[in-house]
Amino acid sequence: NTTAHLRDRFAELQAAYTGGVQLHLAAENMLDNLFEERLGKNDLLPLGENGDHLLVETSYFSPPMGLKNILLRIKSKGYHPVLAHPERYVYMGESDYRQLKDMGVKFQLNLPSIAGMYGNRIKKKAMLLLREQAIAYIGTDIHSYSIFQKFICTGVTRNVQKLLDL
């Protein structure tokens, strides 16, 4: 998925789309060697009205070497890093979240996490981040309506109610 190819496909979608929702093209970026190359060339698809937020992710099991330095390079290019699904990174704990937040990294919670879709440990981390008001955005990795109904419509409603009752 090169940036040029995604832009071409998005232009086709926009030409065919007749709905009322405004569409925007953006991408989630795996923090790997290809990302480093794309960052160097400014060959990215950022988020936000100003195009200055960059959605990033890492492996679930271990951070890339120099994670904080990569995030600082993103910031030096004028982007605000948004870490996708921080609750799902098994290598991160409360102090890691605090350090990243203090660096200006924003967090995007994955909605199925608070529904328990990825297990109880991830659900607990998601609820902690919500209670600590560390979440700036909420997104989803849901790719089908049936999964949405099963996990989101039931589990999220229960867990959001618990948060509101605090």
- Convert the pLDDT of each residue in 108-158 to its tens digit: 999 889 888 899 999 999 999 999 999 999 988 766 777 666 666 665 666
Please check whether residue 106 lies inside any domain of the structure: yes
H-type alpha helices, 2-156: 3-16, 33-41, 67-76, 94-102, 111-114, 120-131, 145-147
Please check whether residue 74 lies inside any domain of the structure: yes
**CATH number, residue 112:** 3.20.20.140
User: What is the DSSP-derived secondary structure letter of residue 63?
Assistant: P
Mean pLDDT of all residues belonging to the chain = 90
Please check whether residue 10 lies inside any domain of the structure: no
Please check whether residue 36 lies inside any domain of the structure: yes
- % of the chain surpassing 90 pLDDT: 74
Please check whether residue 12 lies inside any domain of the structure: no
Per-residue pLDDT at 116: 85
d(CA 150, CA 107): 25
Please check whether residue 51 lies inside any domain of the structure: yes
What's the pTM value of the predicted model, to 2 decimals?
0.86
Q: How many domains does the chain have?
A: 1
Q: Which domain holds residue 55?
A: 27-164
